[in-house]
Structure 1
Amino acid sequence: MKAAIDIHPLRVAPTQSLLEVITLMDQGARHGSANKKPVSTKRSSYALVMDKEKLLGLLTERDIVKLTAKGIEPATVQVADVMTQHLITFQNSNLQNSFVVLSLFQQHHIRHLPIVNEYNQVVGVATPDSIRSNLQSTDLFKLRRVEDVMSTQLITATPESTALDLAQLMGNERVSCVVITQTEKSSTTSNPIPIGILTECDIVKLQSLRQNLSILQARSVMSAPLACLSPQDNLWLAHQTMNQLKVRRLVVTDAEDTLVGIVTQTSILKALDPLEMQSTISLLQQQVNQLKDERIHLLQERTTYLENQVQDTEQRFKAIFDQTFQFIGLLQTDGTLLEANQTALDFGGLALEDVIGKPFWESRWWSLSSDTQQHLKLAISQAAQGQFVRYEVDVLGVGEQVVTIDFSLTPVKDDSGQIILLIPEGHDITEKKALDQLKDEFISIINHELRTPLTSLQAAIKLLSTGKFGSLSEQGGRLLDIALINSVSLMRLVNDLLDIQRIESDKMGMAKQTCHATELMVQAAKMMEGMAQQYRVTISTTPISASFVADPERILQVLTNLLSNAIKFSNPGGLIWLTAKLHHIPNVSSLDTQTNDTSTQISKTEDSSGTKQQSDKASPEDIQKHPTEILFQVKDQGLGIPTDKLEIIFERFQQLDSSNSRQEGGTGLGLAICQKIIQRHKGRIWAESTLGEGSVFTFSLPL
């Protein structure tokens, strides 16, 4: 509280003239007496009239305004004649907090309280300005709004009023300021617009300057432009604004800039009055209780909503969990069964209580043999250590039914990475196993019962065509050629079927080794040279010096297959390009190498002709320094492929023109085999084409 006292009040002698005191107040002098040299600080709103150390009286700005309104000439009177003599003082020893001082301000309707020591000597003066200026961040001020304390009983005047008129108005109405207003012509209301303000301080200044107040108009002496507050602003903002602008009052305007009130430092300090604080606390308590009730109601509604959501989710999950065709459940890490879906229970002819809470391996499903149970125990132990376990096993169902399931155990971890649960799943693959067996038997029949006779048949036809067993008629020769072509096509179909089956069943071994791009490209071109001459097309090869790890026989199979297709669908005199280049993938780890969705694998653009072109995002320097894959391309000048066919051509038995394909000896399996081989090498393959201009087949292999 002591920091909020002005310890250097302006002191004047009783014999000094009123004009001299006014000048000292305006100039901001301290210790301004006949015996002491004034010390300049900030301007003062009051002066203590002292006879040595004895306090005689007090002169304030309001006193000066009243004297001005009465027309008293300041130079003709002494300050002792006009001072307030009967003063309220306060002992310094009783000064504990600002509430006592504020109570005295309100009780006696004063704004200046001299503070004296035990010898009745003045040690300072407390004012609303000194208290407010030393306020720190107060939560109470932040909770109160300007509209709570502002005064709406406003004294206004027009810009044409004289300063003397305004001084008389202040004296008569006992106010510290007058707001200067005008009514806008374009305004839809009669509410005045504040344009300036004149205060007691301004009157004192004018008197100090010896101005003729009777001829000065308000517009020439008012403070403008105004810094205005909104009724919704808090008192802490008002306090900070007053400190920043060094003023003791602020005008309050609404959204239309019309005058609605004024807030002063005295009205701000009313918020610290105990009665006002009690009222504020009561109001805040009501608001807190209201918010508490609203929050409880909101929480109840939210709880009810969440309970309904949980119930609906549980019902949906239970429906999905029970009706899924797979066997699924939930285990503790020690193998105790916590949950099993209805599909699994129905298969075993079991009720939920028959298996819940018991070791999983003791249930009927696993009772075929002790080996089956021991295998399951081992799998649970491995899964509890964090491994994903999967294997095929026979399980027992109702009526001694035995089925083969694809069984797995998935560990479930908590946020800390600890294994807390295991999810067992089983999918009935009995029919699939039977179909696989039939397929294997069929492939075996093709391999042994068709391939061998076809090989002998081809050899016999070729031998007959040599003429060693007699010459044939022209018609017989044509029939023999047809038989040879058909036998070759049939043998190609058998070989393709066997190849694709081996790849899908992982029975086709991949003898990977270091391969050289140049050697494979040259060898592929030589192998297809005869066919190219037959169709009267030219193969142009641009080898590249690069090495990679792959099965050379399978990559050669892909190259010859793509060249064969390009040759068959090229026009006579056409040109085919076999090229390769190194390529850089910016984010290799995010690439799905098991898909042929070219939209997510490589960036492409279209040129002016509509042909899709590859666009490498990496710079040439990056590609040279950090290549991640090699791209092989086979480009032709054939008829092209429709855009909607670019994806399906890699499916089995898919041909663009069945009649033409059969005429050229196509089986519809070549591109499917190519795709399988490239995928086994973790690469990609795709096609780009423009109708009437040709096609480009590209495949990549990681370096």
Structure 2
Amino acid sequence: MLYSSLQISGDELKQEAHSRLLLKKANALRSEFLWAYQVGNEFVFSNFTDENLLNQYFKHVWAATKLIGELKEFCRGDEVASANVAEIEVLTKRTNAMAQKFLPSFKEGNMFVVMQYGAIMKRDAFKAGEILNGMIQSQLEKLDQAAEHKSKERGEQGLLVLLLVLATCTLVSGTALALSLRISRRFDVLIDNAQRLSAGLELNPPLQGQSELEILDQEFRRMSQELETMLRKQRAIVDYAADVICSLNNALAFSEVSTAALAVWGYEPDELMGKRIASIVHDDDVERTTRAFDDAQRDSDEPLDSFENRVVRKDGSLVDTRWSVRYVEQEKTLVCVAHDISQRKQLERMKQEFVAIVSHDLRSPLTSINMRLGTLAGGMHGDLPAPALKIISTIEGSVARLIGLINDLLDVEKLESGGWDMHFQEKSILQTMEVAADSLSALADKKQVEIVLPQSDRKVSADHERLTQVISNIISNAIKFSPENGKVTVTHEVDGDSLLVKISDNGPGILEEERALIFDRFRQSKRDRDKKTGSGLGLAICAAIIKEHDGSIGVDSNNGNGSTFWFKIPLTKIDRHAGALS
């Protein structure tokens, strides 16, 4: 219907264009006749004497004759217009015929004939003009009718287009609604599946089809199966772990507990759910434990350093436990791993007992032996031959090494157990260095090694007795491994809020792979093992003393080009708990 209307409109547009062109041709022809009529009147008013006006008249008549041929061809198929053009053509031909008679009479001066023929020619031009006026009026009426019809058709076409648009919108809306409902139902299934997955429930039946939503549902199910498998493996790891793995809420109450709680603490996991951690911790350890968990919650970005406490088993016995804790901010949960260290604690107690035995039953007799050997070597019991003195000297060295080893063991034990009291004083670091150097002057002279101390001084808050022990130990090692006529250089400098002390030698150096382990207990560099000197505890004791000063210690060495041991301690002692200067 719309196509037919548009086709009719196209035909009407062609007809309108034809009418406008016909109107243009008719106007041009009428113009020529009007000019001929006008010039004829002027010729009459000139008493038929102005030949120039006569020439203009014939010019317009001849132009009209040419336009009649074009108009006649253009009106082919239009009977009314063709009849009008034919009548105009007759009038024009008669006018031309009269002109043939008119010109001789005009030249002969026969004015009666001129007036007679001139009147006929003027009348024919006027009549042709009238016919053309009728044709023009007819074409104008056709154009008006075409415009009115076109306006009406446009209204009908607009209504038709509006109806088509409404029908299309209704169809699209209905289709979109149906598709939306279908998609919405599938989305509801996917959302419900997500909720079921989080709740641990069985998923809905799978969606049928091959659209994106069905593919998404398939991927969701595959992910669900993989997640279930992973959770099953994790649960198996947690359930079969020897350590107790648990989580605590912000109130420090158990929210999850692994099955290892039964074997380690004697509690079923369900018995601990909802109970506060303080209820199973020894009374003396509750405050320290609570503070440790609070610290973990405040510093959630970093895992808490492990801490130890005593857990009271269900039967009342104690379990020494080391805790590793991490606070998960998103879940507002403390994730904990509790490791049973009862056997290790038992071994430590046995070690302490052994140290006590060593201290009482070995060091005292060795000290007594060393004193007796000193009196023998000093001649208090009479002069001894040279071979005997040599033997006594060897025994004295062995006893001294045994006493030194026992002292080192006792020092390490005291540091680890916290039984070593530190006494901080603000004193001269140069004086501490001089005391350490004086105690090693005999050893340095024997090796012909020069000890070079700094000229400048600086006060530092430290346990200077223990600091002397650190400096003495490092200088002693430097002397032992320096070549004859070598040099040991001691320096110090301020590094920010700390004091940096360096002790350098020109000995054989330390291998790169040994530097990271050299401060561990019973660790010795290859040069120590080759010379079979030392217990391997001296540097470990140095590291422990520096740690008690909240400092750091290390070594820089180029193998074969000497070593530089260094340590750095704060210039002012800082209270670890309060954070205030003391």
Of the candidates 395, 398, 404, which is equivalent to residue 319 of structure 2?
Answer: 404
Is 1:633 equivalent to 2:511 in the alignment? no
Write out aligned runs for 1:270-285 (5 A): none
| Pairing partner for 1:493 from 405, 408, 411 | 405
Is the CA contact 1:578–1:634 (under 8 Å) kept in the aligned structure 2?
yes
Give the distance between the partners of 2:501 and 2:333, measured in 1 at CA. Answer: 48
**2:350 is the alignment partner of 1:438:** yes
1:307 paired residue among 219, 224, 227: 224
- Match of residue 480 from structure 1: 392
Indicate which of 546, 560, 571 corresponds to 2:458.
546
CA offset at residue 696 of structure 1? 1.0
Unpaired segments ≥5 residues, structure 1: 1-13, 19-79, 95-99, 108-269, 367-371, 584-626
1:651 and 1:671 in contact (8 A); partners too: yes
**For residues 622-673 of structure 1, what are the alpha-carbon distances to aligned partners after superposition, in whole Å with 9 as ceiling and x for unaligned?**
xxxxx132211111111111111112221222222345543xx422111111
* Structure-2 change in CA distance of 1:279 and 1:582 (3 Å): farther
Q: Is the 8 A contact 1:380 1:409 kept in 2?
A: no
Compared with structure 1, are the counterparts of its residues 309 and 89 closer, same or farther at alpha carbon in structure 2 (3 Å cutoff)?
farther
For 2:376, the equivalent position in structure 1 comes to 464
Matched, 1:341 2:210: no
Which amino acid is 1:702 matched to?
A: P
Q: CA deviation at 1:323?
A: 1.9
Residue pair 2:546, 2:553 contacting (<8 A) in 1 also: yes
1:325 corresponds to 2:237: no
| Kept in 2: contact 1:361–1:373 (CA 8 A) | no
State the one-letter code of the partner of 1:300.
Answer: D
Which residue matches 2:418?
Answer: 506
| Separation (CA, whole Å) in 1 of partners of 2:254 and 2:224 | 27
CA RMSD in angstroms, aligned pairs only: 4.7
Contact map agreement 1:361 1:376 (CA 8 A) in 2: no
Identify which of 399, 414, 429 aligns with 1:517: 429
Partners of 2:424 and 2:461 within 8 A in 1: yes
For residues 474-533 of structure 1, the C-alpha deviation after alignment (integer angstroms, 9 at most, x for no partner) is 221211111111111111111111111111111111112324333323333333333211
Mapped to 1, the partners of 2:287 and 2:570 lie a distance apart of: 38
Write the mapping of 1:232-631 to structure 2, written as runs, cut at 5 A: 294=211, 296-330=213-247, 338-347=255-264, 355=271, 392-393=309-310, 395-396=312-313, 402-406=317-321, 426-583=338-495, 627-631=496-500
- SS of residue in 2 equivalent to 1:514: strand
Query: Counterpart in 2 of 1:657?
Result: 527
Q: 1:274 to 1:638 in 2, by over 3 A?
A: same
Structure 1 residue 297: Cα displacement: 2.4
The secondary structure found in structure 2 opposite 1:652 is coil
The alpha-carbon deviation at position 551 of structure 1 amounts to 1.3
**Pair 1:454–1:310, CA change in 2 (3 A):** same
Question: Which amino acid in 1 is paired with 2:514?
Answer: K
1:296 counterpart letter in structure 2: L
C-alpha distance in 2 between matches for 1:692 and 1:386: 47
The structural deviation recorded for 1:274 is 6.0
- C-alpha contact (below 8 Å) 1:405/1:430 kept by paired residues: yes
Query: What displacement does 1:319 show?
Result: 1.8
TM-score, normalization: structure 1?
0.48
For 2:156 and 2:393, how far apart are their aligned partners in 1? 122
- Distance in 1 (CA, whole Å) between partners of 2:155 and 2:428 is 98
**Which digits, 9 at most, give the CA deviation of each residue in 1:191-216, with x for residues without a partner?**
xxxxxxxxxxxxxxxxxxxxxxxxxx
Deviation readout 1:217-247 (Å, 9 max, x if unpaired): xxxxxxxxxxxxxxxxxxxxxxxxxxxxxxx
Partner of 1:155: none
Please, what TM-score do these two structures have when normalized by structure 2?
Answer: 0.57
SS in 2 for 1:651: coil
Whether the 8 Å CA contact 2:254–2:272 is kept in 1: the answer is: yes
SS of residue paired to 2:370: helix
* Paired residue type of 1:696: T
Number of matched pairs: 401
1:644 matched to 2:513 = yes
Query: Deviation of residue 296 (structure 1)?
Result: 3.4
From the superposition, tell whether residues 382 and 461 of structure 1 become closer, same or farther in structure 2 (CA, over 3 Å): closer
Do 1:407 and 1:424's aligned partners in 2 also have CA atoms closer than 8 Å?
no
Give the match for residue 537 of structure 2. Answer: 669
Shift of 1:405: 2.9
SS of equivalent to 1:455: helix
Alignment pair present for 1:691 and 2:559: yes
Unaligned runs of 5+ in 2: 1-19, 25-135, 187-210, 298-305, 572-582
Displacement of 1:276: 7.2
Higher helix share: 2
Q: 2 CA distance for matches of 1:522 and 1:565?
A: 17
Which amino acid is the alignment partner of residue 689 of structure 1? S
Tell me if structure 2 keeps the 8 A contact 1:409–1:422. no
Greater strand content: 1
Determine helix, strand or coil for the equivalent of 2:350: helix
How far apart are the structure 2 equivalents of 1:544 and 1:91? 113
- The structure with the largest alpha-carbon Rg is 2
Deviation, 1:358, is 7.1
- Going from structure 1 to structure 2, the CA distance change for 1:555 and 1:405 (only over 3 Å counts) comes to same
Q: 1:384 deviation in Å?
A: 9.8
